[in-house]
Chain A
Amino acid sequence: MKISSGAVVEGGTSLNYKTGNWRDQRPEIDPESCKQCGICQEVCPDDAVRQVRDRYEIDYNFCKGCGICAYECTAEAIRMKNEEK
Chain B
Amino acid sequence: MADIRVVEGSEAVALAVKACRPHVIAAYPISPQTHIVETLARMVADGDLNAEYVRVESEFSAASVVSGASTAGSRSYTASASQGLLLMTEVLYASAGMRLPFVITGVNRSISAPINIQVDHQDTISLRDSGVIQLYVESAQEAYDMHLAAFKIAEDPSIMLPVMVCMDGWVLTHSYERVEFLDQEAVDRFLPPFKPENYLDTANPKTWGSYAEEDVLMEFKYSIHKAMTEGKSCIRKIMAELTALTGRDYGGLVEAYRTGDAEVVLVAMGSMAGTIKDAVDDMRREGKKVGLIRIRCYRPFPYEDLVAAVRGAKVVAVLDANVSMGSEGAVGLDVKSKLIGRPGVPMVIDFIAGLGGREVNSTAVREIVDRAERLSSSGLPPPEAEWLDLNPAIVP
Contact = CB atoms under 8 A, between A and B. Distances in A.
A10 B205 CA distance: 7
A5 B207 contact: no
A6 B97 contact: yes
Interface in B318-365: none
Contact of A6 (B98, B205, B216): B98
Range class of the A interface residue count: under 10
Interface string B174-208: 00000000000000000000000110000001111
B29 to A, nearest CB: 31
A11 B206 contact: yes
B296 interface: no
B69 to A, nearest CB: 15
Range class of the B interface residue count: 10 to 19
A46 B219 CA distance: 31
B220 A7 contact: yes
B206 A9 contact: yes
Contacts of B98: 6-8
A33 B45 CA distance: 68
Contact of B198 (A3, A8, A12): A8
B209 interface: yes
A5 B223 CA distance: 8
A5 B160 contact: yes
Contact of B220 (A3, A9, A12): A3
Nearest to A10: B206
Contact of A8 (B208, B216, B219, B223): B208
Contact of A3 (B206, B208, B219): B219
Interface in B49-107: 97-100
B210 interface: yes
Interface of A: 3, 5-12
Interface of B: 97-100, 160, 197-198, 205-210, 212, 216, 219-220, 223
Given A5-B99, A7-B220, A9-B210, 12 more contacts: A3-B216, A3-B223, A5-B160, A6-B98, A6-B99, A6-B198, A7-B98, A7-B208, A7-B209, A7-B210, A8-B207, A8-B210
8 contacts: A3-B216, A3-B219, A5-B197, A6-B160, A6-B208, A7-B209, A7-B220, A9-B207
